[in-house]
Amino acid sequence: MLTNAVKFQGDGATVTGFMQQPLFEQEMTEGRWYSAAEATSGAHVAVIAKNLARTSGAGVGDTVTLQTATGPATFKVIGITSSQWNNGVNFYLPLQTLKTVLNTDTVNGYFVAMTNADHAAIDRTTTQLEDRLTANGYAVGTMVKYSSQEQNVKANQRISSAISVLGLLVVAISMVGLINAITMSVLERTREIGVLRCIVARARDIRRIFAAEGIAVSLGGWLLGIPIGYALARMFIWLLLKIVKLEFAFTFPPMNLLIALGGTIVLALVIMRIPLRRAVHFKPGEAIRYA
C-alpha cells in the first residue's frame, strides 16, 4: 500500500492506495469499492471514510479535489466506508492511481496475512520480516492485528470499568436517598401506624403500604433515568465525533430496560428492609403517643 498526507477543504487528511482486493476490512455503507478495471487503469475514483464524508458533505457521485505533494488532484467519490483507519479521515484510491498522482513507483507499507493463528508463530514471522527489511535499509514500524485487538479490548474494558464504578456510585447514592425518604415517611406517620395497628392491621399490611411507596419512588427514578441516560449517551457519542473525529456505534438494547427495571425493584426491596422493620415493630400504644 501507499499512504500520504493531503489537504482537503483546508484540513489535513490522509490518502491510501490499495490493490483492488487488499488485505483490509472494507465495510461499505454507501456506493461500492473500486473495481479491478479501475485499479489497473489508474482511474481517478475514491472511496471516502464515513466520518470525513459527514464533516465535509461529500457523497457518492461527488467530485473532490485533494491537495497532494505534487499538486491538486481530482477524484470521483464512488463509495463511503465505515472504516476508522487514520481516525476516519482517509481517502482510499487504487494503488496505481495514487502512484501516478504522486509520481512514484514505490510503496511505503505492506499487509501480511498468515494462515497460522498461533500467536507465537505470528510473532516469529513478524520478527523475521522486520529483520529482513531493516537489513535492506527500510525504516520499519509494524502493527500486529491480534496484539492491537487485545490492546483495544483492554482499553475498552478499562473505560467500561470506570463507567460501571461511576454507575454503582450513582446507584448507591440513590439507594441512600431512598432509605432516608422511607425512614422519614415512617417517622412522620408513626401515629398513623399506631392507629392502623389498633384496628388490627397486621405487620405485613404496614409493610405493604411502605413497600408500595418505595417501589413507586424507585419506578419514578427508573422512568426518569432511562431518557436522561439515553440523552447523555447520545451526547457522549456526538462529542467523540465532533472532538476526536471518531464514530462509535450506538446500541441501546431493549432487554437492558427490563434488566434495569428488575434490578431497581430488587434493590429497592432489599434496601427498604431496615426502615420497614422499624415500621412493623412499633407497639400501637407507643406509636399513638409518638410526638
For 27-70, write each residue's pLDDT tens digit: 889 999 999 999 999 999 999 998 888 888 899 999 999 999 99
Range of the domain at 17: 2-111
* 275 vs 278: CA distance, rounded Å: 5
Answer yes or no: is 127 within a domain.
Answer: no
> Helix count (H) and strand count (E) of the chain?
10, 7
For residues 82 and 151, membership in a common domain is answered with no
pTM for this model (two decimals): 0.61
Q: What is the CATH number of the domain that holds 106?
A: 2.40.40
Give the per-residue pLDDT at 115. Answer: 81
pLDDT surpasses 60 at 154:
yes
Q: What is the mean pLDDT of residues 172-176?
A: 80
> Which three-class secondary structure string do you get for 113-125?
CCCCCCHHHHHHH
Structurally, the chain folds into a number of domains equal to 2
Query: Of 59, 92, 111, which residue is a domain's last?
Result: 111
For residues 164 and 90, membership in a common domain is answered with no
pLDDT surpasses 90 at 84:
no
pLDDT surpasses 80 at 140:
no
For residues 150 and 106, membership in a common domain is answered with no
